[in-house]
A and B are shown apart, each in its own frame.
Chain A
Amino acid sequence: MNLTRRQCLLLLLPAAAAGWEALQAGAPERAPNYDKTQHWWGMLLDISKCIGCGNCVRACAAENQVPPGYFRTWVERYRVRDEDMPYPQVDSPDGGMHGFPPIPADGMKEFFVPKMCNHCADSPCTQVCPVGATFITPDGVVLVDKEYCLGCRYCIQACPYGCRFFNPVTHTAEKCTLCYHRITKGLTTACCEACPTGARQLVDLKNPNDPIHAFLRTHNVAVLKPYLATGAKVFYNDLDGSVR
């Protein structure tokens, strides 16, 4: 052991330099003019306005290059017989992308229910990720880190709303990003942009001037599966009790 202190430090110098380089290079990129801490995003889906045209499904697929046969948002048609409330008939041909061929009413209550990620404040999907590849952003959007996702599919199983899928091309979990690339630029989401009746509204719960606050106070609004306490932020107006 004829190693002097000077020699030892000289030996470790390249390693220390590499470590410092790694720390310095990691300065995070930021979206300009957008403050993550000033927003808390959600969405309002108005069942009484949805006409099942499928515009939102097509718009989402075009905006986000969703692979055919998979959906980040989709529309379901519920058909409920008066005495059969717990057993609704639900269909969603092609996710409702091409509309719904009318079925003779047959004395049933019929309505459309758009579905999408609920961007839960306390989401089961982010809790089960073993590597921290899915998370909720400081502005309340649940995202998947495509670069970091292992493709283990835990989150897909964990989502109680069935809003995630496994992208067969990238081999990562995929879901609605609430058009994060749009809302951070001051635009609304693609589905809201394409919705002809205003059945979909992007809402910012941290903005005191957002009409959502008055709406929530004056309407019968519900979230899906409230008993799971996921903190869902997709609010349904006029939600029927048969919807799951």
Chain B
Amino acid sequence: MNRWRNGEHLLRVALVYGLGVVAFVLLRMALVPRSFGEFGHYRGNAIAETARQRPVFAGHQACNLCHSDVAALKRTGIHAGVHCEACHGPQAAHASDPGSVRPARLATARLCVRCHAANPARPAAFPQIDPRRHNPGLPCETCHPPHNPLQFLSQHS
């Protein structure tokens, strides 16, 4: 073992190398995000962070809990498939605090034509009117109750 007698310089190199490895491992621990690689080459926690965002639209299931009368009326008419917030806008704030957050009343003359103004690009079978000729100036709900638009027409014909 005589050849190792003057081996102190080798020990020093090994020590420096070992410290380098430790520094690398510690640095990597500090720099790589904690959940990185949990599901793939990305930060796994990013999924839960995206899911944490708060909804602005309550969803028709929430509306129907309280407004079951409107839901029942709507189900009988041509607007059965139109969800509440398609016309009434996002109502999550109203759903979580119905007392103090009241949905705005809708101006049907402007709202209804968004969908029902005649446009050659719309599917031909979709009910469309020319707002300048179809009773201009009258609010739509005069003849068409919005939750069942053809109710009166079918009663009178």
Using CB atoms and an 8 Å cutoff, list the residues of chain A in contact with chain B.
Answer: 1, 12, 15, 18-19, 22-23, 25-26, 28-31, 34, 36, 48-55, 59, 62-64, 77, 79, 99-100, 102-105, 110-112, 132-138, 143, 145-148, 177, 179-182, 184-185, 187-188, 190, 193-198
Contacts and interface: CB of A to CB of B under 8 A. Distances in A.
Interface in B14-40: 15, 22, 25-26, 29-30, 33-36, 38-40
Given A26-B35, A147-B43, A188 B50 contact: no
Which of A63, A146, A185 has the most chain B CB within a 10 Å cutoff?
Answer: A63
Nearest to B56: A63
Interface string B78-121: 00011101110110000000000000000000000011011111
Interface in B47-103: 47-57, 59-61, 81-83, 85-87, 89-90
Given A12-B22, A29-B45, A181-B50, A1 B121 contact: no
Nearest to A58: B89
B46 A30 contact: no
Contacts of B47: 36, 137, 143, 180
Contacts of B34: 22-23, 25-26, 28
B15 to A, nearest CB: 8
Contacts of A184: 51
Contact of B54 (A52, A177, A181): A181
Contacts of B126: 51, 197
A194 B38 contact: no
Contacts of A79: 121
Which of B11, B38, B50, B55 has the most chain A CB within a 10 Å cutoff?
Answer: B50
A148 B29 contact: no
A28 B42 CA distance: 13
11 contacts: A1-B12, A54-B114, A64-B53, A77-B121, A100-B119, A100-B121, A148-B33, A148-B42, A181-B50, A190-B90, A196-B81
